[in-house]
């Protein structure tokens, strides 16, 4: 028992050092977008707000989805780093269960376990609310993204999406706002 406690505390300390959002208990099981249509979801989305995590540190973040193969969505995430360089990573996403197409599994590295990518809500033309959670025994680590087809999103829409996240226990006070200012982000369009 003591070994598990020590390992849990070590993992908690490592994740906390990387600004992850760690919560007690197991992951919630929120409702996802009904009748999710991956074809309508394709294209570029701007990151408006996100929970902090170690693998996304830049600004001007975008996610571009494309049809890679039948049932496989290509993923290209890009961000502008503080030193002016552009960081990009590509991967793929698939629905684990075709009857739940909004519950995707995304993978960026060969031989790495895929991560959940659940589309909680989208209208396909303006906003998308994405949630991911990984159980760590008696704790869980959460990820959330509010995205838009445009570099901004109306305050009323943000409030609605915050309400959805709050209803499943997500700490919306921890959301970071991504800089999508056109002048600042101009290197991304080159």
Non-local (6+) Cβ contacts of 49 within 8 A are 145, 146, 158, 175, 176, 177, 178
Q: Please check whether residue 138 lies inside any domain of the structure.
A: yes
**pTM of the predicted protein model:** 0.87
Nearest residue to 140 (alpha-carbon basis) of 53, 27, 54, 52: 27
Q: Please check whether residue 86 lies inside any domain of the structure.
A: yes
Q: Please check whether residue 150 lies inside any domain of the structure.
A: yes
CATH number, domain at 97? 2.40.128.20
- How far is the C-alpha of 33 from the C-alpha of 51, rounded, in Å? 20
pLDDT greater than 70 at residue 32: yes
In this prediction, what percent of the chain has a pLDDT beyond 70? Answer: 89
Q: Please check whether residue 165 lies inside any domain of the structure.
A: yes
Q: Please check whether residue 74 lies inside any domain of the structure.
A: yes
The pLDDT value recorded for residue 109 is 85
pLDDT greater than 90 at residue 177: yes
Q: Which range (39-48, 134-143, 148-157) has the least confidence? A: 134-143
Higher pLDDT, 15 or 172: 172
Q: Please check whether residue 190 lies inside any domain of the structure.
A: no
Q: Which range marks the domain in which residue 48 is found?
A: 2-185
Q: Please check whether residue 15 lies inside any domain of the structure.
A: yes
Domain count, the chain: 1
């Amino acid at each position: 028992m003591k070994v598990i406690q020590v390992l849990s505390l070590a993992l908690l300390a490592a994740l906390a050092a990387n600004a992850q959002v760690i919560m007690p208990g197991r992951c919630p099981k929120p409702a996802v977008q009904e009748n999710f249509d991956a074809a309508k979801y394709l294209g570029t989305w701007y990151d408006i707000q996100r929970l902090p995590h170690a693998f996304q540190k830049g600004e001007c973040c975008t996610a571009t989805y494309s049809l890679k193969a039948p049932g496989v969505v290509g993923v290209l995430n890009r961000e502008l780093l503080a030193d002016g360089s552009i960081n990009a990573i590509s991967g793929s996403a698939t629905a684990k269960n075709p009857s739940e197409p909004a519950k995707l599994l995304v993978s960026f590295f060969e031989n790495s376990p895929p991560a959940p990518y659940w589309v909680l809500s989208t209208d396909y033309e303006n906003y998308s609310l994405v949630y991911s959670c990984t159980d760590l025994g008696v704790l869980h680590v959460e990820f959330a993204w509010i995205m838009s087809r445009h570099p901004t999103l109306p305050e009323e829409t943000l409030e609605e999406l915050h309400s959805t996240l709050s209803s499943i226990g997500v700490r919306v006070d921890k959301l970071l706002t991504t800089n999508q200012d056109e002048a600042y982000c101009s290197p991304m369009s080159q």
